[in-house]
Copies of this chain bind each other. A is one copy, B any other.
Amino acid sequence: MKANQPAIGIDLGGTNVRAAVVDASGSVLSSYRQPLGAKRDPQSVLDLVCQAAHQAMAQAATPAEELVGVGIGVAAQLRGSSGMVAVAPNLGWREVPFGAMVAKDLGRSVRVVNDLEAICWGEVAFGAAHGFRDVLVVFVGTGVGGGLVLDGQLYQGASGVAAEIGHVKVFPSGRNCGCGGTDCLEAYLGGANLSRRLREEAEAGWSELMTLAKADPAAIHPGLVEQLHAQGDPRAKQLWSELAELFGTVLANSVTLLNPSALVLGGTVLSGCPRLLDLSLVVLRRQALAVALETLTIKPASLGDTAGVIGAADLARKDN
């Protein structure tokens, strides 16, 4: 039966492309990952994406004609279900018809979703949120992104850009975000922006942080502040407290607005900074509507790096 045939899931991030052949139970039969090179133009990236897909198919000994569908999660804001990438900041793209390009190259229709939508669907279908019908997934890695499953369905919004929680505005102290705006949550919490701020503060005199980085500004990352926090460093405590207030309040407001049954949290900044995460959850519990908290389950993401390809493959399967 067609529904049991494998599908291919592709995760196109800001650094790597990963392709995997995934069966109907969410098991990864083969996976192939390669870094994006310096050339980020659509044609160069298309070539890498299709190479990765063919490598994964070859590894799983699954010819293209046996695949039930192709799904791609892209770190981008998309235009509805058209496969058109409106803005992909990490790739430097604007208005690229990437879905159509991949479909032409692979010779079959392709479902393009946001990378966090793919991860969210993966975690709901086969991961931490399995069995939950109303789920908010938030990942804090290089950037800050979210995905929503509502009433059991992936919720993409009117034009396909729902759940952009990284661009929710926090209090106005004026930090710039990669989206061109100021005071987005991501401007404070996203790993790239946070690391830049930490480098600035280390160079401006946060000597404990600079020492921990062995005087190499390029080695500074949020995990070092987590270490300083564990040692009782007052500046680390103040910074984590400030960021927890922001992040916890944004999570709380999302819970108040959406009343999800599950909140799934993941990404390298959160997994690398458990104290920051714990402090944020204290703020969340203080700030969210009490009756919405009563029925909320909070869980760490469970599929790791493969959530995106698993989710993208399963979304493609649902289309066919």
Contact = CB atoms under 8 A, between A and B. Distances in A.
Given A162-B259, A254-B257, A289-B167, A134 B157 contact: yes
Contact of A151 (B155, B165, B169, B253): B155
Contacts of A133: 158
A250 B256 CA distance: 12
B257 A164 contact: yes
Nearest to A292: B161
B157 A260 contact: yes
Interface string A256-293: 11111100000000000000000000000001011110
A87 B292 CA distance: 12
B259 A159 contact: yes
A87 B291 CA distance: 9
A158 B295 contact: yes
A226 to B, nearest CB: 25
Given A158-B260, A162-B258, A169-B287, 20 more contacts: A86-B291, A87-B291, A146-B257, A150-B150, A151-B155, A156-B259, A157-B258, A158-B259, A159-B259, A159-B294, A159-B295, A161-B259, A163-B259, A164-B259, A164-B289, A171-B171, A179-B289, A180-B290, A250-B253, A253-B253
20 contacts: A79-B291, A134-B157, A134-B158, A150-B150, A151-B155, A157-B258, A158-B296, A159-B261, A159-B291, A161-B291, A164-B256, A164-B257, A164-B289, A165-B256, A167-B256, A167-B289, A168-B256, A171-B171, A257-B257, A257-B258
